Amino acid sequence: MSRLRGLSGLLLGALIAGAPVASALAAAEAQARGAALRSGLSHATIDQVGQRARDKAASTACNSADLATVANRVRTAFEGYSRLQTMTFPGDAASWKATREVVSRVRRWRLSQPAKFGWDSMVFGLAGLKDPPDLLAVVNFSDGALPYSARLVARDTGMAPEPFLNSIRASMPPRSATRAILAEARGLPNPELFPDGATSAIAFRFPAGTVATLANLDPREVVAIDYLFAGRSGESVRTAYIEVGDFAAGVAFLAAAQR
């Protein structure tokens, strides 16, 4: 229950703070939600806590001394948080690494997760100098294979409102309960985006709306990145997997950067 009380406080704080403080609170709220889900709490229980926080905020006078105290504490905490340049968001099996640093005019990863699949390697996440950054999958195939396209496969929340759980941890749903998002562009990335140890790579860019699709998934589940190859005997596919984890928290962390 201590996690729930912490989550309630964060939601209350988000209601009384302005941007970019609200972005910082959104990152903390996303992390707290993920931790609560991974501990076995249900979405319904967490939503009930959130509603109680909203009810509490709605019933509190704007000139309340207690509310002013909470708001000042939130703003003070944000002063330090806003100066953080890097942050790692651990998951069950993989982590997201976020960075606000812009050390050159070369496109670099802002939020990324590496993945190995067979002899091949990939980095997936947000990269670029502009805001919002692009959602990319940068992949190296050990045999030099060249896919003609890529698609991201995720649970279709309209067809399957709840994640498919194996014990507490979520897994890929059956393909009949998924949606596929095709990459909208393919190109050669700069070396700073290559997977570790790779001397070449190819990048696929996904539509901007894919970020919201990922952020709205359960942090325990995974998404698939299918790489599509044309061959004499027909199409073949190689698949990498990415843990959703605290992707939403990482996006909010980037948005909370002090300008």
Q: Which two tokens stand for residue 97?
A: 């690494």
Estimate the share of the chain in helix, then strand, then coil, as percent rounded to the nearest 5: 35, 30, 35
14-72 pLDDT, tens digit per residue, is 333 445 566 666 666 666 676 666 666 666 776 776 677 666 666 777 777 766 676 66
Q: How far apart are CA 153 and CA 150, in angstroms?
A: 10
Cα 128 from chain centre: 16
Percentage of the chain lying above the pLDDT 70 cut: 68
Cα 33 from chain centre: 13
Q: What is the pLDDT of residue 7?
A: 39
Domains and CATH numbers, the chain: 2-83 (no CATH), 87-247 (2.60.40)
Q: What is the dihedral of CA 203, 208, 209, 213, to 10 degrees?
A: 50
Q: What is the pLDDT of residue 3?
A: 38
Q: How far apart are CA 75 and CA 4, in angstroms?
A: 22
> Does 191 sit behind a cis peptide bond, omega within 30 degrees of 0 on the bond before it?
no
Q: What is the pLDDT of residue 204?
A: 98
Q: Which element (helix H / strand E) includes 155?
A: strand 149-155
Residue 203 — φ and ψ, nearest 5°? -115, 140
Q: How far apart are CA 35 and CA 215, in angstroms?
A: 15
What residues have CB less than 8 Å from 36, skipping those under 6 apart? 3, 4, 7, 45, 46
> Does 20 sit behind a cis peptide bond, omega within 30 degrees of 0 on the bond before it?
yes
Q: What is the pLDDT of residue 252?
A: 86
Q: What is the pLDDT of residue 41?
A: 64
Whole-prediction pTM = 0.77
Q: Which two tokens stand for residue 89?
A: 């968001």
- Tell me the residue length of the chain: 259
Q: How far apart are CA 40 and CA 216, in angstroms?
A: 18
98-129 pLDDT, tens digit per residue, is 998 766 678 899 999 999 999 999 999 999 98
Cβ(220)–Cβ(165) below 8 Å: yes
Q: Which of 51-60, 68-77, 138-147 has the highest mean pLDDT?
A: 138-147
Q: Which two tokens stand for residue 141?
A: 């195939």
Cβ(102)–Cβ(48) below 8 Å: no
Q: What is the mean pLDDT of the chain?
A: 81
Q: Each residue of 236-245: b (16+ CB within 10 Å) or e?
A: eebebbbbbb
Residue 95 in this model has a pLDDT that exceeds 90: yes
Q: How far apart are CA 195 and CA 188, in angstroms?
A: 13
Residue 94 in this model has a pLDDT that exceeds 60: yes
Lowest mean pLDDT among 104-113, 166-175, 202-211: 166-175
Q: Each residue of 42-78: b (16+ CB within 10 Å) or e?
A: eeeebeebbeebeeebeeeeeeeeebeebbeebeeeb
